[in-house]
């Protein structure tokens, strides 16, 4: 027995013409196989139409906002990482490209840099010496100068320093503020 086109028709009964619908019904009366399919499809279609929409858990919008915020945070992080990587890569490329060119230019500056290094080292040594001298002076003062002078002298020095700081402040900072 031929099952086509009836087998195809039974899934789309709503679009069949009256003649086609009648032919299909005639075929279903004599064909057990197609009748079984028709019954099965009617059951399934009923289940599909009766199946309702399933909703997400409450708070979906709130979770969406959190998801969006997380996405933005990750995107920012990715962007920063990419920028850092690109900068590093750029510097590396520049070093490779121009390193050979820059080295000869830096060569004359090497003695100057060495000289500056020596000066800094001697300054540190001088500072240590200054500290030593000051220590000896203080010891000598404590032993030979009376207590009154030992109090008056630092106070006078502190007063002079304060006067100096205030003068500098009035002459520079306040004047700038007025301007």
Partner 1 sequence: MVERPNESEWIHRAQQGDDDAFAMLVEAYQVAVYNLCYRMLGNPMEAEDAAQETFLRAYKGLKRYDPERRFATWLLSIASHHCIDRLRRRRFPIRSIDELLPWQQKADDTPGPESTLTVKESQEAVRKMLEQLGDQDRAVLILRYWYDLSYEEIAQSLSSSVSAVKSRLHRARRQLAGQWIMHTSVEVGKQGRCDEASAF
Those residues with Cβ within 8 angstroms of residue 22's Cβ, 6 or more apart along the chain or in another chain: none
Torsion angle of the four alpha carbons 146, 151, 153, 155, in this order, in degrees rounded to the nearest 10: -170
Q: Which is nearer to partner 1, 67 or 73 (CB)?
A: 67
- Distance of closest approach, residue 55 Cβ to partner 1, in angstroms: 4
Q: Which is nearer to partner 1, 64 or 169 (CB)?
A: 64
Angstrom distances, CA of residue 76 to CA of 8, 62, 64: 55, 21, 18
CA distance 68 to 75: 10
Q: Is residue 32 near partner 1 by the rule CB under 8 A?
A: no
- Distance of closest approach, residue 178 Cβ to partner 1, in angstroms: 45
Q: Is residue 11 near partner 1 by the rule CB under 8 A?
A: yes
| DSSP code for 60 | H
- Distance of closest approach, residue 44 Cβ to partner 1, in angstroms: 5
Angstrom distances, CA of residue 114 to CA of 11, 104, 124, 127, 164: 94, 17, 16, 20, 37
Q: Is residue 54 near partner 1 by the rule CB under 8 A?
A: yes
CA distance 165 to 169: 6
Q: Is residue 36 near partner 1 by the rule CB under 8 A?
A: yes
Q: Is residue 77 near partner 1 by the rule CB under 8 A?
A: no
Q: Is residue 4 near partner 1 by the rule CB under 8 A?
A: no
Q: Which of 3, 22, 63, 78 binds partner 1 (CB under 8 A)?
A: 63
- Distance of closest approach, residue 45 Cβ to partner 1, in angstroms: 8
Q: Is residue 153 near partner 1 by the rule CB under 8 A?
A: no
| Cis-peptide into 71, omega within 30 deg | no
CA distance 78 to 76: 5
- Distance of closest approach, residue 56 Cβ to partner 1, in angstroms: 4
Site residues (vs partner 1, CB under 8 A): 7-8, 11-12, 36-37, 40-41, 43-44, 47-58, 60-61, 63-65, 67-68, 71
């Amino acid at each position: 027995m031929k099952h086509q086109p009836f087998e195809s028709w039974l899934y789309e009964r709503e679009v069949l013409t009256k003649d086609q619908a009648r032919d299909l019904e005639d075929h279903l009366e004599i064909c057990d196989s197609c009748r079984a399919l028709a019954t099965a499809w009617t059951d399934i279609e009923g289940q599909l139409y009766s199946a309702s929409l399933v909703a997400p858990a409450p708070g979906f919008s709130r979770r969406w906002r959190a998801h969006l915020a997380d996405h933005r945070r990750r995107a920012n992080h990715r962007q920063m990482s990419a920028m850092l990587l690109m900068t590093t890569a750029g510097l590396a490329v520049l070093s490779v490209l121009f390193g050979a060119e820059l080295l000869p230019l830096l060569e004359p500056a090497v003695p100057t840099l060495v000289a500056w290094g020596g000066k800094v080292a001697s300054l540190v040594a001088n500072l240590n010496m200054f500290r030593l001298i000051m220590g000896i002076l203080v010891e000598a003062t404590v032993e030979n100068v009376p207590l009154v002078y030992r109090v008056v002298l630092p106070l006078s020095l502190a007063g002079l320093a304060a006067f100096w700081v205030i003068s500098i402040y009035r002459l520079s900072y306040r004047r700038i503020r007025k301007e």
